[in-house]
Amino acid sequence: MKIAYLTSRYPAVSHTFIAREVAALRAAGHEIRTVSIRRVDPAGLLTESDRREAASTAVILPASPLTLLAALLQVLVRHPVRSLRALGTALRDRPKGFRGALWSLFYFAEAVLLARLLRQDGIRHVHAHFANVAAAVAQLAAVLVDGTWSMTIHGLSDFGDPSANALPARLRSARFSVCVSDFGRAQAMLHLSPARWDRLRVVRCGIDPSAFPVREAPPGNEVPRILSVARLAPEKGHAVLLDALVLLRARGVACRCVLVGDGPIRAQLERRCRELDLDGCVEFVGAVGQDRIQQYYEQADLYVLPSLAEGLPVVLMEALAKGVACVASGMMGIPELIEHRRSGLLVPPGDAEQLEEALAELLGDPALRAEYAARGRERVLEAFDINRNVRALTGLFEEIASGRTPQR
């Protein structure tokens, strides 16, 4: 089956799980055409595979006014009824207010460009990741080509403010919506009538465990090393981690913390480190490509993800697959991956004291770290193997191809 995979920016360093899903679907025999609303900054393409994927990905914007006008005239002349229906859908299924109406017109224009690409490639189904601009454009393009569309919803960016992205309307329109966790499906259920709940399907994102072989032995660091891989953004809770590190120091626990990732609050976090006199024990690595990330897992004694809001973090799967014990916030989709005191430790989000206690406990007990890490890898193999999970996604696409609505 030919499928267009649409995201706002692709490939992106923080969304490697989408590239893995695309690769797994292609391996399963599907013809996947990746499309990005906007062009990715070449500086963000950190690996050769990223650069290859970017080179083969169609980009909608920027587009010249002449190109847009030609595409718009073509669809109006050839498919006037569909064009009016898509424009009506854009104006109906939109966020409230003048700005929502204005943006809906932009989405319609982008959908016109996408629809031209779909017709050229003979594609009639679009799958969008995240309920953002990609979902809006996919919905309208499907109307323009008389096709179908679906989406994957992940976390807070999707259901944190449903009115901002017209989530209820998107859920009603999509042929099916994939939720990466049971928690996410429950959030989506709030915005649909029970009669439509069967269109919400849990298909967990995941990793290829063979690409993350368990390390042969602990790293043997003289000073224990704590690793966190996450975008440097407020919702990831790095500020809470810094407070916990201060408490660890007061307890007399020596450690080094390595922060992999970049983002809008990096300067703020670096300043906070100086204020807390943590310069000597916190290292800011910056963004790292998948070709280098494993060396950081190999060298870590402990992995921590102190998020304040989270969907189902793939980085936790990677750490567990590599045999690194994890401490994470016990909320949203995370407890579906880490079982407290069986395959890791979960702490209340935003609580620096309990985070410090969990870190101190595991830093002081190598045997317990090894026990949790082993069980954590078992959990990844059991439920988060992308090759197995993509088979479920393939089944949904095949039902669409056969003309059936996916059923539970």
- Residue 202 β-bridge partners: 179
Domains present along the chain, CATH in parentheses: 2-206+386-401 (3.40.50.2000), 210-383 (3.40.50.2000)
Q: What is the pLDDT of residue 407?
A: 52
Q: What pLDDT sits at residue 216?
A: 87
Tens of pLDDT, residue by residue, the chain (408 residues): 899 999 999 998 778 889 999 999 999 889 999 999 999 989 888 889 899 999 999 999 999 999 999 999 989 999 999 999 999 999 988 877 778 788 899 999 999 999 999 999 999 999 999 998 999 999 999 999 999 999 999 877 787 777 677 889 999 999 999 999 999 999 999 999 999 999 999 999 899 999 999 998 889 899 999 999 999 999 999 999 999 999 999 999 999 999 999 999 999 999 999 999 998 899 999 999 888 999 999 999 999 999 999 889 999 999 999 999 999 999 999 999 999 999 999 999 999 999 999 999 999 999 999 999 999 999 999 999 998 889 999 999 988 877 765 555
Rounded Cα–Cα distance for residues 350 and 252 (Å)? 22
pLDDT reported for residue 253: 94
Q: What is the pLDDT of residue 298?
A: 95
How far from chain centre, in Å, is Cα 42?
Answer: 20
- Express each pLDDT in 214-254 by its tens digit: 998 889 899 999 999 999 999 999 999 999 999 999 999 99
